[in-house]
Amino acid sequence: MTCGEIFDLLKSRGCSDLTPWLDERSCSQHPVSTGGYGDVFRAKLTNGHEVAIKTIRIYDNDGTSEGRYAKHAAREIYAWSKCKHRNVAQLVGIIVFRGCLAMVSWWAGNGNVVSYLKRWPHVSRCQMSLSICTGLAYLHEQDIVHGDLKGANVLVDHNGNLMLADFGNASIADATLQFTQTATGPSFSPRWTAPEILSGTSGHTKLADIYSLGMTILEVFTGKVPYSGINEYALPLHIAVHMKKPDRPLDVIPDNSVLGNVLWAILMSCWSHNPPQRPSAQDTQQLMGTISDDKLVPVAGTSG
């Protein structure tokens, strides 16, 4: 199934072809970011609105892709086009960009949540985590698996609202892992990836998303990537074989705080090595809604 065939299929299902509205002179020559599944370019539409163009890297050198996975990818892109939620980045349309199928979304002026927290360290980490849970719960209600949840894929708009991006890539990710993995390393993000994926016993699932959700919440609270002191190439063994979990960051999730203990219990359940024991996104959302930053303080008269 060629790039053009996938593009035509998506158009026939109602996805907007933005090719005529793209101001090609505004497109960045080089990607502003590069990931395992594609590259992101910054551009403008002819009306002046800034957009992000995300190419999808699932094609072989001859320009074709493995049909079964390509069709799955097309279905997931179509599902994204129907998503309408304040905590989910909107798919504006699709284009063929420099020979690749590409998705177009609005440019997030405040970048991702990681860079945003560095500029605004005093914003509510609890509220941000709740927004991420809310966005993931919505996706799961739409039967969409995110497939690559991490801080870098949580965008912040000009109003400070958080939006999940780069989701619906589960089939694309599985295709990438099977067909286009190169010597440069895996296409997934091992610090946020569930152990069953690292060990090769499972693909991307909603329960794997929950594991990544816990790691993303930890990242929001600490401002650091999970397992920041461990080399990335050692992580699969550390997580999938030795079944290690992150150490508790007592400076931001104190163990002499009632709600700190609740928060840590939530994260530990998200990281269960038995996937069915992980909570749903909706359950995690409800629990996060009970926690606020001002209550994550030590109980008077106690010590850690």
State the pLDDT at residue 86: 97
**pLDDT at residue 174, as a whole number:** 52
Q: Report pLDDT for 19.
A: 92
Q: Residue 94's pLDDT is what?
A: 94
pLDDT given at position 72: 66
d(CA 223, CA 118): 8
What's residue 69's pLDDT?
57
Q: Which CATH architecture has domain 113-295?
A: Orthogonal Bundle (1.10)
CATH number of the 3-106 domain: 3.30.200.20
Mean pLDDT (10-residue bins), the chain, 304 residues:
81 91 92 78 95 76 52 76 94 89 92 96 96 98 92 94 81 44 50 93 94 98 95 88 92 94 98 97 97 81 50
Residue 50: per-residue pLDDT: 95
Q: What does the pLDDT read at residue 56?
A: 78
Residue ranges, comma separated, of all CATH 1.10.510.10 domains in the chain are: 113-295
Model pLDDT, residue 107: 94
Tokens standing for 199?
A: 């060990």
How far is Cα 75 from Cα 9, in angstroms, rounded to an integer? 9
**pLDDT score recorded for residue 171:** 53
CATH 3.30.200.20 residue ranges for the chain? 3-106
